[in-house]
Structure 1
Amino acid sequence: MKKYTICLSLCLMLTCGAAGAFDMDDMHMDQEQHAHTGHDMSSHMGPGFQMVFNPAFSDDIYHVHPAGMWMVSYKFMHVNMDGLQEGTTNIPAGVVSPQGSKPYGFMMTPTRMSMDMQMLMLMYGVSDDLSVMAMASYQSMTMDMLMNMGAGNIPSAPMRTSGFGDTELRGIYKINGYLVGSLGLSIPTGDTHQQIEMMSRTFRAPYDMQLGSGTFDLKPALTYSALSDDALWNWGGQVMYTYHPGNNDDGYKLGNNTKLTTWLQRALGPASAWLRLTFNDTGRIHGQDPEIAKMLDSVNGASMPDADPANYGGQRLDGHLGMSYAKGPFSFGVEGGIPLFQDVNGLQLVNSWYLTTGLQVMF
């Protein structure tokens, strides 16, 4: 509860003072008039418009669009993980192996992992109060490992998986000039049967190397966003929950996730810059994939921490710094981030840095 209190306090600090904020309803009415008279909306996309519709490129900050308006965005995200941690304690790779040793006793030790994700999103304003969104993704993951069969750690061939991830459909509704509610449905289009080769044998890849959840997931969110009177400052916060309703066909479900995001953004002519904090609380995996469990077999397996469902989830606070540039209906952005705090369940690789670039167009 202490971690939640800290993060909610940060959200309140950035979102206080809404009484003097710019009324987004007025801006939407003006934009609607342009759209209905057939004018080029790009001519009306001033700093206030760009600030509302672009608070952060590397995350999904939900908003509505004027009726009849489209937005298409492409994002490339890189996540780098480096080093092992149990709880908040760093764990040297040398104490994880060999198999049967104390306190861990794994044969394979992950040392570094990277994930590249490409995301394509399409959004449409059904009315001034309701927008719909669809998003697809493609992922590529690589994990470096050490192998120890009793004669010391030696580098092993990295594990690699890639393919399309889960697809998200979302409805977004404007409650008032500051609040937006939304509900997403994640469709399990990502493969959960990715395979890897280790020691001339084929295994099902561990949970974090799979491409999807294998379940239909619900993702409700509530977003607060406000502009200053001069439309030069934008601030807000968002809470989102990801709910995995039951086990997938492989006998497990990923841990549910609570995500709190807050941001402060400043317009700088055609550019804007922002600071953002994100807090994630993710539960352990429930159940177990019997194919992945074969990796833990002491005779025929290739045991590693990632094959144990207890070694997933935890809490993490990330800090991000980003900048975007707008030209007419087009916007280009880049954002970098690092973890400020991590407390993980069991033994896990931990995040070290993030980088996202994106391009979006509104018409």
Structure 2
Amino acid sequence: MAVTDRVRYFLKNGFLPSPSKRKPAPTVSPSLQALTVAALALPGLILPAAHAAEEDEVNFQYSHYQEGKRKLYNVKNTRNPIEVESVVGKARISLTDRIKFAFNYIQDTWSGATPITTSPLAANGNRAILADTPSGKTITTGASPYIYGQMLLNKKFVPIVVDPQGKAIGRTFLPVHVLSMASPETRKQGDFTLGYEWDEAAVNIGGGISIENDYESRFGNINGRWDFNQKLTTLNLGLSYTNSDTAARIDHDAEIYLVKDAYDQQIEKSGNINVLRGNRQDWGTSLGLTQVLNKTALVETSIGYTRSTGYMENPYKATTIVFADPKTLGTDFSNPNAIVGQVRAFLEQRPDERNQVSVGGRYIQHIGLLDAALHLDYRFFHDDWGINAHTFEADWVQPIASTWTVTPKVRYYSQDAADFYYPYIIAKQAYSSTNPNKNLPANFSSDQRLSAFGALSGGVAISKKLSKAVSIEAGFEYYTHAGSLKMDGGGEGRYSDFNYYQANASLNVNLAALNSGGGSSGHAHDHHGHHSGSHGPAGVMFGHMLNKTNEVMVGYRYMYNRQAGDMLHGTHPASDQAIRKNACLTGYTKNCRVTPTEMDMHMHMLDIMYAPTDWLNLMLMPQFVDMEMNMRMLDGLTYNPFQDHVHSDGDHSAHATGGVGDTGMYALFKLFDKEGHHVHATLGLSAPTGDVDIKLRPMHHKDGGYIHYGMQLGSGTWDFKPSVTYTGKLNQWSWGAQFNATTRLQNKNGSGYALGDIFQGTAWGSYHFTPWLSASVRGVYTGQADIDGKFKPVSGVSNNVLVKNVNPGSKANYSTGPMDYTGSYGGRYWDIGFGLNFTVPSGDLQGNSLGVEWLQPVQDDVNGYQLDREGALSATWSVMF
């Protein structure tokens, strides 16, 4: 192994094994991607330049982040805390011996309640300042808490606690977080790296884009590596640029109280809502040095600098300001010694530039006696906002036997507060509606991530080598976030304490090991070539079997479905007038007010197949789903925020869901297999692992209503999925047919309904232009029944969201649009598909198969009123060993 390769191996695996005792490379998955720990604990973290990829591989990872409930003292907290579900796909391949390419895809879906500000909990009953409604009956949190009203303060400008009748009772006041609930939101990011390697140097260029409904970020980078000192020393240098645009919709509920004068020039009117727009630019550079000390020890240091300019605020964070005019002393007759304060919520105001420096070091030591590795990390962060942060981390990488690796870890983080951080502000002056910012600090924020706190976490990662080519891993880490954990004291009070955890699981396929004979079958490529001829189109599931005992196939399947255009009733377009009159049933408080304009569904699925015998295959298919729907008001109606707070023109006209879908478990049985003809049957169960109780954010009520049936993540029932498949082949031609069905094994799920049963028949023909390339055409018929039952009632939802005075047996839940009626699901559909299949015939990626198919609708005959279909795309990758 060359010294440079040894350095990379050391960095990846944590030790330099001797040639006689070299272990399979353990894989340790990263922490939850995308904006979890980095956003919550390490603002402005600068990472060192990445090292060149060592081996070709494909990796899939699922992560779950979950916060615990916030402490609100005597205030009842009914809101679910933040949770994030993430899926990550990575691929690294060698285009030539010198040219390397890597691609990453990350998708996160966020939901739950998060703090938007902090305020004194100094009032009760009628004098509440934080309430769901202007009546102030409760001090709690809502979708958009009502942060407005009066507060009493003593002569020292300290808030006074009062009883429900407004009388001071003298208890010590406490600050408390004000939580805001949001509907699920999804972020998607794709990025790439293209690199070229010389004998003693390498250069990588990369870029990508991250997209959310209200935020878009584009970035690019270039990194270089130079090996010298007989290749015992490596120098890394990187440069990056990011350009980000914010387009945040200001909640109409907040318009009546939120002070946003500082952003008048950045707020634009869009439909019925205001949109705050801002641009931010970030330039970053990093320098890293890696030194091999000896064959068992390595040290790495790095320094990075980032300059950020532009719109730096979080548009959903506010700061509570109490305007306590001394002249109001004695004006409250119940409390003559009190000052009457006016409470207002201001959008936070941060500086428009930020300079950040990060310095880090890592030491790795191989422990020969235990054949383990110790990782010690330290990182220091400083910026001109006043934040100084320290991160200490230790991992112990312990191989067990020949295929297991256990990695316990511990991490400690501490930071100072930003100079402009305030839990809330007491302004000793009267509030001026014409000049609200007069005499206030130029910058202020109550964002908890800018406060002084510490975080302590511990966790473990366990990896298992299934073969030289395939490994799996699971990890768990638990965090405690508390002001008392700050390194030198002075952290936030215990009102800001909370706990959270993150868990992940991953599957890694080492393509280099496959090509070096690391599969379970020495003839893997030959067999894969044989199967490429019998593979059905990419949109056909369970289209082929593995033929040899102990063969394994790992694959990835992506499916995209789009609906847009006309609303249909049966086979014909439906007018807005017809939808208003007929799509929403009678007996409700109002008729249809909105209709969908487009809906996109994305599904990411793993195909893991194993052949315990030559006549039986077992298959596991976990999946991750996300959907987005856009709405519009029906013609002839006007927007009413108190009627249309669930679906409104502009406000929540686009909403999304995402997360783990249902998980399939299947057995494939060979029934007939003669030269040129093959028949097999599939018996499967779909486990209800996808959520079916996702709700929209609450508005004028305590709880939000369920999001539409078609945007829940699974069926919620155990489902039986049988199929029979026939395939044939003669010379350059191949063909096939399949009948499959889905039968619900329960009459309703936990939310009160059951999706309709499905029957599908399909037939296809393929022509092979070469042994490795074929094209296909197929026809598909699908029939699906409508939904049985309906969503069960949600406590506290007003009648214009979940109507309670429905007729017995009615199949509806909401009265907002046809997508909320169970009779507007299912139908009969005819499609034609066009596909290509490709198998890599030689080289480093020999045996990898790729397929793609576009399914074009021919005719729809829908139940009720549904959005027309535009088409569906399926893409697959698989490798067998």
| 1:336–1:355 CA contact under 8 A, matched in 2 | yes
Match of 1:131 in 2: 617
Larger deviation, residues 298-307 vs 349-358: 298-307
| 1:206–1:306 CA contact under 8 A, matched in 2 | yes
The counterpart of 1:266, out of the listed 735, 756, 767, is 767
| 2:552–2:880 CA contact under 8 A, matched in 1 | yes
Separation in 2, partners of 1:335, 1:37:
30
Separation in 1, partners of 2:726, 2:700:
53
Map Cα deviations across residues 197-245 of structure 1 (whole Å, 9 max, x no partner): 48666221111010011111101111111111x2x21111110111002
Separation in 2, partners of 1:198, 1:275:
47
* Residues 243-258 of structure 1 aligned to structure 2 (within 5 Å): 243-246=743-746, 247-258=748-759
Q: CA RMSD in A?
A: 2.7
The counterpart of 1:193, out of the listed 678, 693, 709, is 693
Match of 2:579 in 1: 96
Deviation (angstroms), 1:134: 0.5
Deviation (angstroms), 1:84: 1.0
* Residues 289-300 of structure 1 aligned to structure 2 (within 5 Å): 289-291=791-793, 295=801, 297=803
DSSP 3-state at the match of 2:672: coil
Deviation (angstroms), 1:60: 0.2
The counterpart of 1:150, out of the listed 637, 643, 659, is 637
DSSP 3-state at the match of 1:143: strand
DSSP 3-state at the match of 2:525: helix
Match of 1:215 in 2: 717
> Is it true that 1:109 corresponds to 2:599 in the alignment?
no
Q: Give the aligned residue type for 1:352.
A: E
Separation in 2, partners of 1:342, 1:102:
19
Separation in 2, partners of 1:209, 1:150:
25
> Is it true that 1:57 corresponds to 2:538 in the alignment?
yes
Deviation (angstroms), 1:91: 1.5
Q: Give the aligned residue type for 1:56.
A: P
Which is richer in helix?
Answer: 1
Relative to structure 1, is the Cα distance of residues 106 and 124 closer, same or farther in structure 2, using a 3 angstrom cutoff?
Answer: same
Match of 1:76 in 2: 558
| 2:671–2:681 CA contact under 8 A, matched in 1 | yes
Count of residue pairs brought into register by the alignment:
323
Relative to structure 1, is the Cα distance of residues 126 and 257 closer, same or farther in structure 2, using a 3 angstrom cutoff?
Answer: same
Deviation (angstroms), 1:314: 0.6
* Residues 299-338 of structure 1 aligned to structure 2 (within 5 Å): 303-327=816-840, 328-338=846-856
DSSP 3-state at the match of 2:744: coil
Deviation (angstroms), 1:63: 2.6
Give the TM-score normalised by the residue count of structure 1.
0.82
> Is it true that 1:122 corresponds to 2:637 in the alignment?
no
Structure 1, unaligned runs of 5 or more: 1-35
Map Cα deviations across residues 112-164 of structure 1 (whole Å, 9 max, x no partner): 11101111110011111100101011111011101358327944521211111
The counterpart of 1:171, out of the listed 655, 658, 667, is 667
DSSP 3-state at the match of 2:637: coil
Q: Which structure ranks higher in relative contact order (CA pairs < 8 Å, sequence separation ≥ 6)? A: 1
Q: Give the aligned residue type for 2:638.
A: A
| 1:296–1:303 CA contact under 8 A, matched in 2 | no
| 1:160–1:196 CA contact under 8 A, matched in 2 | no
Deviation (angstroms), 1:56: 1.4
Larger deviation, residues 165-174 vs 244-253: 244-253
Relative to structure 1, is the Cα distance of residues 241 and 102 closer, same or farther in structure 2, using a 3 angstrom cutoff?
Answer: closer
Map Cα deviations across residues 62-89 of structure 1 (whole Å, 9 max, x no partner): 3321211111111221111013101001
Separation in 1, partners of 2:707, 2:814:
12
Deviation (angstroms), 1:318: 1.1
Structure 2, unaligned runs of 5 or more: 1-518, 585-590, 640-647, 806-812, 841-845
Separation in 2, partners of 1:349, 1:93:
12
| 2:814–2:820 CA contact under 8 A, matched in 1 | no
Separation in 1, partners of 2:528, 2:582:
62
DSSP 3-state at the match of 1:196: coil
Give the TM-score normalised by the residue count of structure 2.
0.35
DSSP 3-state at the match of 1:310: helix
Separation in 2, partners of 1:122, 1:55:
17
DSSP 3-state at the match of 1:303: coil
The counterpart of 2:781, out of the listed 250, 255, 279, is 279
DSSP 3-state at the match of 2:607: strand
Relative to structure 1, is the Cα distance of residues 307 and 296 closer, same or farther in structure 2, using a 3 angstrom cutoff?
Answer: farther
Relative to structure 1, is the Cα distance of residues 171 and 298 closer, same or farther in structure 2, using a 3 angstrom cutoff?
Answer: closer
Separation in 2, partners of 1:320, 1:95:
33
DSSP 3-state at the match of 2:533: helix
| 2:559–2:603 CA contact under 8 A, matched in 1 | yes
DSSP 3-state at the match of 1:250: coil
Deviation (angstroms), 1:92: 3.3
Separation in 2, partners of 1:195, 1:37:
46
* Residues 233-244 of structure 1 aligned to structure 2 (within 5 Å): 233-244=733-744
Deviation (angstroms), 1:41: 2.0
Separation in 1, partners of 2:864, 2:613:
47
Relative to structure 1, is the Cα distance of residues 38 and 174 closer, same or farther in structure 2, using a 3 angstrom cutoff?
Answer: closer
Q: Give the aligned residue type for 1:357.
A: A
Deviation (angstroms), 1:356: 2.0
Deviation (angstroms), 1:289: 1.0
Q: Give the aligned residue type for 1:272.
A: S
Relative to structure 1, is the Cα distance of residues 257 and 198 closer, same or farther in structure 2, using a 3 angstrom cutoff?
Answer: same
Deviation (angstroms), 1:296: 5.3
